[in-house]
Amino acid sequence: MTHTAPTTIKIAGYQPPASVHTRGVEVFCKALTERLGDRVRIEFEPNIVQAGFNAQDLLARVEDGRLDMCYFSASYLADRVPEFALLDLPFMYANREQAYEVLDGPLKTVLKDKLAANTGYRLIDFWDNGFRHFSNAVRPIQTPEDCKGLKIRTLFSDLHCEVFRALGFEPKPLDVKELISGIESGDVTAQENPLTNTYNFGIHHHHRYITLSAHFFGAAALLCNANAYAAWTDDVQAAVEAAAAIATVSQRQFAANEDADMMAKFAQEDVEIATLSPDQLARFVEAVQPVIDTQKDIFGEPLFSLASPSTPS
């Protein structure tokens, strides 16, 4: 009797065990194993930063086949597929329901096809990378004027940098690996992240002031090496898609629950949390409107409209 060797799937991430992404991958691995049993062998490295890599190395390692899968901020894909910048439009979503409507809608198909045509990735799904909020060590941020003179750590995203310049910040891209050292050295005096990262990375020990700005909703792309996916048998492909769908539901729920959990934890810390009134929020939106208008001109109204939610706030 011939025994077929199991399919090995190598997955890696860049966050600690408690993170919503790590837990999402664990759900994926469990669901995949339940479907394929000993026909699959999964190798999961939760945090490559601990092994000395930059988080961003995940992208190259998946594309060249050293890894089969990873999750990563979709913002980093815009330099290869410009349309991914449509997921980074500031102040576009008032709640998660609006964000998921876009992530699961027609724009997903457009981005999946363009990613396949221009890179070595296959987009499996979009995960919840959280609403991003400002923190800093200098003063409360409640108006765009409060941003002036602050050096803010950003993702490696041209659009993010444009948005922060429009608000008055001095943007400085840094990898996650360099984030804390940049804060400790004073190389950056502000940063923006989901609340779970601000807390779990210990940023609140350095930044007393947190503003619930929700200026971006972060999408994380669950990516697969396209050649690896194509080489899998139909039943493995189907199992990966089914397991990913289950993991996406769980991961998004983890992320939603995490915001409430983080607010409870911050209440026990020496931090000052500011919320924005409707009038204050309107001033931020007004400041970045020229950036939004430019993106609309670049992509055209039909494509731009796919990034705009239709459900009410």
**Number of residues that this document lists for the chain:** 313
As to burial, measured by CB atoms within 10 angstroms (0-12 exposed, 13-18 middle, 19+ buried), residue 121 is buried
1 domain residue, yes or no: no
Please give the pLDDT value at position 311. Answer: 66
307 domain residue, yes or no: no
161 domain residue, yes or no: yes
Pairwise CA distance, residues 86 & 312, whole Å: 19
Phi, psi of 197 (to 5 degrees): -75, -40
310 domain residue, yes or no: no
Find the domain containing 296 and state its range. 7-300
137 domain residue, yes or no: yes
If we measure between CA atoms, which residue out of 195, 192, 104, 189 comes closest to residue 148?
Answer: 189
CATH number at residue 82: 3.40.190.170
Domains held by the chain: number: 1
Pairwise CA distance, residues 180 & 66, whole Å: 28
Angle of helix 96-103 versus helix 234-266 axis, rounded to 10: 160
| 3-class DSSP assignment, residue 91 | coil
Please give the pLDDT value at position 145. Answer: 98
219 domain residue, yes or no: yes
pLDDT digits (tens, 9 = 90+) for 35-84: 999 999 999 999 999 999 999 999 999 999 999 999 999 999 999 999 99
305 domain residue, yes or no: no
- pLDDT by residue for the chain (313 residues), tens only, comes to 456 899 999 999 999 898 999 999 999 999 999 999 999 999 999 999 999 999 999 999 999 999 999 999 999 999 999 999 999 999 999 999 999 999 999 999 999 999 999 999 999 999 999 999 999 999 999 999 999 999 999 999 999 999 999 999 999 999 988 999 999 999 999 999 999 999 989 999 999 999 999 999 999 999 999 999 999 999 999 999 999 999 999 999 999 999 999 999 999 999 999 999 999 999 999 999 999 999 999 999 999 999 999 865 5
306 domain residue, yes or no: no
CB-based contact 15:21 (threshold 8 Å): yes
Please give the pLDDT value at position 1. Answer: 43
Phi, psi of 168 (to 5 degrees): 110, -5
The reported pTM is 0.91
